[in-house]
Amino acid sequence: MPVTVAVDATGADLGPAEVARGVARAAQDGIHVLLYGPAGPLKAALAELPPASIEIIDAPVSIAKEADPARAVRQHPHASIVQAVKAVADGHAQAFVAAGATGAALAAGMSELGRADGVRRPAIAAQIPLPGAEVTLLDVGANATVRPEHLEQFAFMGRAFSQAVVGVEHPRVALLSNGEEKTRGTDLVREVHERLSKHSGLGFIGNIDGSAIPTGVADVIVTDGFTGNIALKTMEGVSTELFHLIKKTVMASNRGKAGGLLLRAPLRGLADTLDPELQGGAYLLGLSALGVIAHGRFSHVGFEHAVRRAGIAVEQDLLGLTLRSLESAGALRVRRKRSAPTDTVVVHDA
Amino acid sequence: MPVTVAVDATGADLGPAEVARGVARAAQDGIHVLLYGPAGPLKAALAELPPASIEIIDAPVSIAKEADPARAVRQHPHASIVQAVKAVADGHAQAFVAAGATGAALAAGMSELGRADGVRRPAIAAQIPLPGAEVTLLDVGANATVRPEHLEQFAFMGRAFSQAVVGVEHPRVALLSNGEEKTRGTDLVREVHERLSKHSGLGFIGNIDGSAIPTGVADVIVTDGFTGNIALKTMEGVSTELFHLIKKTVMASNRGKAGGLLLRAPLRGLADTLDPELQGGAYLLGLSALGVIAHGRFSHVGFEHAVRRAGIAVEQDLLGLTLRSLESAGALRVRRKRSAPTDTVVVHDA
């Protein structure tokens, strides 16, 4: 049976037709897609492409731009993202992809799918593209405030993701801190360091500081959603600013322009390997099915990879791998009472 | 009367003679320097330079590489850094400069100088060099864990620094968070946002996320020492990694090499404007006198600028400006009892 992925096509800056074009490429390779969005533009876009295994479900209501996503999910049960996630909850698909709107995807995921049994908190994993390596950083925004047991689980969730989806056989797992020494950091970080050190099968290599994030010394980097978001955004900001400064410097002289002309092709090759669209977006881990959040500004390339990666996660049984590794480490949450209130989760855009 | 700066020459990777060479340049411009370190090498270095107003105090014991700086300060009262800070405490100098060893400088500062009256915690301020702007980020490592009233004070301390030392007349002060909305962030960040919003004279422009740190949209960025350290180190790591990747890409083809040759001069010009040595290092704010922590890997250029900036801070009365602005904002700490235990500070290397 082919993998089925439910896709919300409404949150993309370039419009639903762009999402359809990306999705169609992945669908031509054997993934079945349920595509939620305004039927008109979606049909028109697909009509121009080779046939693929895509079902369009007319869902013109988008909550991608709502300021309060949790409330928007409650108020708009027919919104495209809610329907797409519901399709997974109802067993019609095994993973979902949302364009843009991390907050809405997280809120819909929590309300329609809920957390995987034994998982305390969902986490958002981002991938830092490096030539020859892909570093997974989590959490980058689902939880501004966490407890040690949350970060402990994130380490296993990130490791399973790195193995199943990124393809790293023995991921090196690190904890982000303000220095390598285990005595550094907040009380939280010190306690998490101690917990992770006890899991011999985790591949924990200790603490790293911010300068080591982009070196590839660790495959999985664990942190809370506040710190992770700041690290990720800082990386994006510095890259953008540096490329901007270099371009400005190159263009400021004729000599520079001549040099820039010669370097255009090789540097474009470098930019291609660093292209975030190839990672498909951010990954919503810890729900009872995987969610992929493609960036709103992505072109069809990003959406294609988002659907492909969702397919890989299902084929490789990311969820099963996650739960088995948590279980064997004794890190699954035991629910004492079925009716006990569950952990709350801070829902906002990453 | 000229400004007197006490300098610990022992923590530099290139040795005390390199510190002496930098210090001498600043001293030739009218700053008086008390130079602590091994007298032999220091005298030999100065003998080769034009005369300058420098007193060498033989202090061969260095604690720059000690793992537990607070303990090292207690155990080695004759260590060069302790003597340099003591000279400030005793009124022989008005500011100190330490090479390397943030932790030792902070520990010596706390034990010999103590906090300025009404200041709750010292903070370490770093400057992000940008062409046409200099952004001050604090705290980058003195306090891994803070309370709202600490960050509130850091905002004023950073603003006074930006005005007096960096020369920004009306600094725009921002709070670092995982998004611009005031509802984002941890409980700490939300409370600090509310406090800062109430200070009409502060120049508070609200929250910024990590991507805005290197854009220059804010002149002063306030955060806790854990997050600030990770943001700063992440910036350093990404810059290093990107320049490394670009260089590798350029050198991989003859076409690239030819282009690189043409771009060498303009890109060196860019690198010069981004040179961290021009900022003199990190700034230890909130003690009863300013401390400048030059990076251990600095050449004489960095030490020269560290001493120059220390001189500017004294001339511009950074400390007075800080305390007056805290006082007029009602943000000074009132000591209820003289004998009450003071706040503790996490002492470690930034």
Question: Hey, what domains does chain A have and what are their CATH numbers?
Answer: 4-328 (3.40.718.10)
Which candidate, B95, B93, B100, B126, places its Cα nearest to that of B235? B126
Strands A4-8 and B4-8 turn out to be unpaired
Say how many CA atoms lie within 13 Å of A12 toward its Cβ.
Answer: 31
Q: Is A178 within 8 Å of B233 when comparing Cβ atoms? A: yes
Q: Which amino acid is at B48?
A: E
Contact A140, A309 (CB under 8 A): no
Distance CA B298, CA B295 (A): 5
Contact B176, B228 (CB under 8 A): yes
Of residues A242, A255, A258, nearest to B239 (C-beta)? A242
Phi, psi of A282 (to 5 degrees): -100, 155
The share of chain B scoring above pLDDT 90, in percent, equals 73
Work out the angle at residue B331's Cα, subtended by the Cα atoms of residues B326 and B337, and round it to the nearest 5 degrees: 110
The confidence score (pLDDT) of residue A340 equals 46
Backbone angles phi, psi at A321, to 5 degrees: -60, -45
A190-239 pLDDT per residue, tens: 999 999 999 999 999 999 999 999 999 999 999 999 999 999 999 999 98
- Model's pTM, two decimal places? 0.92
pLDDT of B248-276, one tens digit each?
888 888 888 888 888 888 888 887 878 88
Residues 6+ apart with CB under 8 A from A283: A124, A125, A126, A127, A161, A165, A290, A291, A292, A293, A309, A313
Inter-chain contact B259–A263, Cβ cutoff 8 Å? yes
- Other CB atoms within a 10 A radius of the CB of residue A253 amount to 16
pLDDT value of position A265: 82
Name the residue with higher pLDDT: B114 or B276. Answer: B114
Query: Considering only CA atoms, which of A201, A220, A224, A205 is closest in space to residue A331?
Result: A201
On whether any CB of chain A is under 8 Å from the CB of B251, the answer is no
Q: Which of the four pLDDT bands, split at 50, 70 and 90, describes residue B335?
A: low
Q: How far apart are CA B87 and CA B96, in angstroms?
A: 9
The enclosing H or E element of A335 equals none
Q: What Cα–Cα distance (Å) separates residue A316 from each residue in A84, A172, A246, A310?
A: 22, 20, 41, 10
- Quick check: A211 and B253 CB within 8 A? no
Q: What is the token pair recorded at A300?
A: 């069809």
Q: Please name the amino acid found at residue A304.
A: E
- The residues facing A137 across adjacent strands are A126, A221
Long-range contacts (CB closer than 8 Å, 24 or more residues apart) made by A53-56: A53/A2, A53/A27, A54/A20, A54/A23, A54/A24, A54/A27
- Residue among B131, B185, B249 minimizing CB distance to A226: B185
Q: Of A228, A263, A214, give the one whose Cα is nearest residue A150.
A: A228
The answer to whether B186 faces chain A, any CB pair under 8 Å, is yes
Report CB contact under 8 Å: B246, A267: yes
Give the integer Cα–Cα distance in Å for A162 and A218.
11
Distances (CA, A) of A157 to A143, B56, B172: 15, 58, 40
Q: Residues of chain A with pLDDT > 90: what percent?
A: 73
Give tens-digit pLDDT for A157-174: 999 999 999 999 999 999
Q: In the beta sheet, which residues pair with residue A174?
A: A206, A221
